[in-house]
Structure 1
Amino acid sequence: MSVAYFSLVLHAHLPFVRHPERPEFLEEDWLYEAITEVYLPLISIFSNLARLSDKPRLAINISPPLCEMLSDELLRSRYTRHLENLLALVEKELGRTAREAPEFHQTARMYHENLRAAHHLWEDVYRRDLVRAFRELQDAGIIEIITCGATHGFLPLISTEEARRAQVEIAINNYRKHFGRQPRGIWLPECAYEPGVETILADAGLEYFIADAHAVLYGDPRPRYGVYAPVRCPNGVAVFARDPETSQQVWSSITGYPGHADYREFYRDIGWDAPYEYLKPHLHSDGERRHLGLKYHRITGRDVPLHEKAPYDPGAARRRAMLDAEHFVRSRLEQARRLRESFEDRAPLIVSPYDAELFGHWWYEGPQFLDFVFRRLSERRDALIPISPGDYLDLDLPIQTQQPAQSSWGAEGYFKVWLNEGTAWMYPYQHAAEARMTRLADEHALTADEMKRRALNQAARELLLAQSSDWAFQIYQGTTVEYAVRRFRAHIYRFNALADDIARGEIDVARLEEIESRDNIFQELDFRTYCTKPH
């Protein structure tokens, strides 16, 4: 066959972070930075590509916690304040760099232009509603949106069938609320799979999931086409596995594109470089220095200390992004040629899954790279066709049946990132809560009055938030360990407090209302999802 297929799959996810009890909260900045650096640029690029050339067909998971945060009025208003604060700072920077630091003035002008564009998109074009923006891209046939676990719960480490099923069913209901249709596929949280998960997916009406290469390469029988064609589980659910070659080119901190010397240095930020009194009006009310997002230096070299990094050159970085995109597409064309020689009876499929937040946040030029990639692909549709996993299934090609192997996309392909000496203490509490939630659901499914129903629904929300794989990941990484531990403990505590009230038949209404106002995710949730038998 003369063609091959390329499927880019982006995973847009952040843990649910919302703290109405404080006017500002450092970890909420994770969302605000991602809106500015990732989601707005990606939406803009995909929209522009569709107007200028062929539709840049790809798949993206907008996780349920991210959908809920992007739809939350408190967080929307706080993001607006965050963006306006950055605009005020960069306007000061235009004058300061022109007078005192001309080597940074071009970069200050770039930030000013980009932030003004972000403000225009946020306020005037999308009216602060990015879920609608993504939905419109899907409705226009530009992207395929898939779902994830309700709170990114690591399914193989969830102890009961009911709690696993709830992660999937609640995610699908939330997807329907935000996107007005049934999702076809799911990004398994952390790409974590073990045999049996596919039964839950099939029961929920899902057609496919994204997995790591290990799932298919070590499955039984051996895959006839490696990871370059999907397989079907015995129950018919399809599996699309990650291609290691494209992963290495983009993800690797040593040989991947984002490490090039011309790209922006992530770890040096004006929040630590500029004089304190100059920055103070733009810091949180606690006055603590923090990353503000204006970074004036380039990577320069892996062994160059932060204080010796060279000034960033936006033009040079953009040219590098174009060159890297051209190299990426050439590499895919060559890879496709090699694969076609091996697979004479079918067109190979190259699946490239990445965290969406890589493109723009960690790798500032990442959205430009994707823009150039899809522009180049539009010129080579004779040899390599962009496609989503759902599109591929619609081709109705024969697909090998296989039992995939237990795996994740964590280090070495198994579960040690989430279950290790630093995190093992968490799971007895989580598993006890999972079992207790089903007992409570079964006991009260038919008899709960309005107040008890509210308490049961909120207990389910607390369990879901405790199950987030982000907490164990942060502990393993050693990044925001204190916050991750505090969040996990708080959700388990709130769950048990609510469960105790329900068991006693005496609901502390004031406490329930406070918890409801704080952890307001999934207003559509019905606790009966956790019942042993459907109600």
Structure 2
Amino acid sequence: MSDYEGTFCLVLHSHLPWLPHHGSWPVGEEWLYQAWTHSYLPVVDLLRRFADEGKRDVLTLGVTPVLAAQLDDPYTLRACHDWLGHWQLRAEHAAGIWRDPLLRELAAAEHRQATHAVETFETHWRHGFSPLLRSLVDDDVIELLGGPLTHPFQPLLEPRVTDFALREGLADTALRIGTTPEGIWAPECGYAPGMERHYAAAGVRRFLVDGPSLRGDTTAARTVGDSDVVCFGRDLEVTYRVWSPKAGYPGHAHYRDFHTWDHDVGIKPSRVTGKHIEPHDKAPYEPELARQTLRTHVKDFVDIVVERLRSLREKHGEQGLVVTAYDTELYGHWWHEGPAWLEGVLRALPEAGVRVTTLRGALEAGHLGPRYDLPASSWGSGKDWRVWDGEQVSDMVADNAALQRELLDVLGDSRTRVRSAARDQLVREALLALSSDWAFMVTKDSAADYARGRAHEHHARFSELARMLRAGDPAATAHAAELRARDYPFGQLDARRL
């Protein structure tokens, strides 16, 4: 290894459940367009600038197939373009009715940001996300992680469903960008002993787990069990400096408050101000205060990484590894200043003597430790499965188990059959029902009614189509076509492969 302080890997996990045609506000399509506009656009802008500067192996980016399907879909591309235009109009309206000088300045900045987003979208996103993603992968700016089709919690799946969702998810990514990812972001970092065998069979060579799965020893990647598949552990000591269940930079008083809206114009006018301040009492957002705080937080994070790497080197006598991982949606959508912080950190760390690279690059640099037997785990509360398999969602878990049994029973051995649009849609509805998001939202009481409604809807649609297929009802094909008109991710999905 060269004379670095050590190695740093940033992993971003980009994911939203399937949202088109399933409501608008406050969850539904609005969620998609906000994340698209405030996170995906600026993060891709940043990566494109790095590409133009000749930077390589900047970060590891996970993109779930179900999110990629939404960012490539003609319907959502048109609708997001409309949303951007409405954003411009909202900002213009705010400039006309806000009287506070700080808010008027904010409205003007918001309009400039919206205008830039429209120009970027029309120039670079006209054909969806995949062409942009492909160029970043081909130029080795990023390492791309794939995953199962609809982001199901894999430890609770039947083995055949596990293998199918993963194989098809990797194939979907290959179809979109021309290459198959070697690594995946396991949904919710969910792991059950033996899962590495499924990964190896699908061609997956590396995946991510949370730090406690490795008892906090995240300073090197580990081969899992008796396989050649490698896991990386998220370093919580460093990761939680930015975002944890209880604290982190985005909660600073000077940053823009995510939760406070001026509903007359649909814009967030306030700064955090304080943890226990009512929305109507929060101070106006001041960009200069936020910029000053951001510089402090960039320096703080770089200092923390350097300190951590030096302590690892002193302890082990060799360069260490720090892996941090976050949802991409944190940067811009949840944390307004997040993209600027991201750029600041990725520029400052190399200046501080830290090797910044991808998970693949970390292995090439020699950060591979001895084999390890991982326990059942996740990155959720308690680091076990309770978020997706707890008492609050026990009925959903039981329903999902019954759905999988019914799915496999109805399909039987489909390998010799002619392809059936009705069976394809049956699998599609099953996979949408099995999304890990629904249980997460219920357990965390985050739009729980929406989540339960979505799960119930896909279960009901699955059950009706399964009944028709069992009965040999010729109307099943027409009914499947009606369902496809609303939900049609993964047009290449073929039930015979299950």
**Normalised TM-score (structure 2):** 0.95
1:200-279 to 2 correspondences below 5 Å: 200-217=198-215, 226-233=217-224, 234-252=226-244, 254-271=246-263, 274=264
User: Could you tell me how far apart the structure 2 residues matched to 1:307 and 1:182 are?
Assistant: 50
| 3-state SS of 1:262 partner | coil
- Residue 194 of structure 1: aligned partner: 192
Post-superposition CA distance 1:233-261 (Å, at most 9, x none) = 12110000010112220113654111111
Tell me which amino acid in the other structure corresponds to 1:352: T
- Residue 83 of structure 1: aligned partner: 84
- Residue 146 of structure 2: aligned partner: 147
**Selected match of 2:322 from 350, 355, 373:** 350
1:310-459 to 2 correspondences below 5 Å: 310-344=283-317, 346-380=318-352, 383-395=353-365, 398-448=368-418, 450=419, 453-459=420-426
Query: Contact 1:212/1:413 (CA < 8 Å) preserved in 2?
Result: yes
Tell me which amino acid in the other structure corresponds to 1:514: E
Measure how far apart 1:214 and its partner are: 2.0
| 3-state SS of 1:19 partner | coil
Post-superposition CA distance 1:35-60 (Å, at most 9, x none) = 11100000111222333474461101
- Residue 496 of structure 1: aligned partner: 463
Measure how far apart 1:25 and its partner are: 8.7
Query: Contact 1:462/1:492 (CA < 8 Å) preserved in 2?
Result: yes
| 3-state SS of 1:377 partner | helix
Post-superposition CA distance 1:67-112 (Å, at most 9, x none) = 0001111111111111111111112222333xx2222112112111
1:24-173 to 2 correspondences below 5 Å: 26-52=27-53, 54-55=55-56, 57-97=58-98, 100-158=99-157, 160-173=158-171
Tell me which amino acid in the other structure corresponds to 1:34: A
User: Could you tell me how far apart the structure 2 residues matched to 1:478 and 1:155 are?
Assistant: 22
- Residue 521 of structure 1: aligned partner: 489
Q: Which moved more, 1:10-19 or 1:479-488?
A: 479-488
**Normalised TM-score (structure 1):** 0.89
Tell me which amino acid in the other structure corresponds to 2:425: Q
Q: Which moved more, 1:208-217 or 1:460-469?
A: 208-217
* Residue 487 in structure 1 maps to residue 454 in structure 2: yes
Q: Which moved more, 1:65-74 or 1:435-444?
A: 435-444
Measure how far apart 1:527 and its partner are: 1.0
Post-superposition CA distance 1:275-314 (Å, at most 9, x none) = xxxx5xxxxxxxxxxxx3x211101111222111111011
- Residue 178 of structure 2: aligned partner: 180
Query: Contact 1:56/1:374 (CA < 8 Å) preserved in 2?
Result: no
Q: Structure 1 stretches of 5 or more lacking a match?
A: 219-225, 280-291, 531-535
Post-superposition CA distance 1:445-474 (Å, at most 9, x none) = 3134x5xx1111111101100110100011
Query: Contact 2:193/2:376 (CA < 8 Å) preserved in 1?
Result: yes
- Change in Cα spacing, 1:47 to 1:444, as seen in structure 2 (3 Å) is closer
| 3-state SS of 1:464 partner | helix
Over the matched positions of the two proteins, sequence identity in percent amounts to: 32
- Residue 289 of structure 1: aligned partner: none
Q: Structure 2 stretches of 5 or more lacking a match?
A: none
User: Could you tell me how far apart the structure 2 residues matched to 1:204 and 1:407 are?
Assistant: 21
- Change in Cα spacing, 1:478 to 1:255, as seen in structure 2 (3 Å) is closer
Query: Contact 2:71/2:77 (CA < 8 Å) preserved in 1?
Result: yes
Query: Contact 2:222/2:370 (CA < 8 Å) preserved in 1?
Result: yes
Tell me which amino acid in the other structure corresponds to 2:107: A
User: Could you tell me how far apart the structure 1 residues matched to 2:392 and 2:369 are?
Assistant: 41
Measure how far apart 1:150 and its partner are: 1.3
- Residue 302 of structure 1: aligned partner: 275
Post-superposition CA distance 1:391-416 (Å, at most 9, x none) = 22234565311111111001111111
Query: Contact 1:9/1:352 (CA < 8 Å) preserved in 2?
Result: yes
Tell me which amino acid in the other structure corresponds to 1:108: A
- Change in Cα spacing, 1:369 to 1:494, as seen in structure 2 (3 Å) is same
- Residue 18 of structure 1: aligned partner: 20
Tell me which amino acid in the other structure corresponds to 1:498: L
User: Could you tell me how far apart the structure 1 residues matched to 2:124 and 2:478 are?
Assistant: 40
Instruction: Please report the RMSD computed on the Cα atoms of aligned residues, expressed in angstroms.
Output: 1.9
- Change in Cα spacing, 1:444 to 1:184, as seen in structure 2 (3 Å) is closer
Tell me which amino acid in the other structure corresponds to 1:363: W
| 3-state SS of 2:280 partner | helix
Tell me which amino acid in the other structure corresponds to 2:141: I
Query: Contact 1:377/1:384 (CA < 8 Å) preserved in 2?
Result: yes
* Residue 510 in structure 1 maps to residue 482 in structure 2: no
Query: Contact 2:220/2:367 (CA < 8 Å) preserved in 1?
Result: no
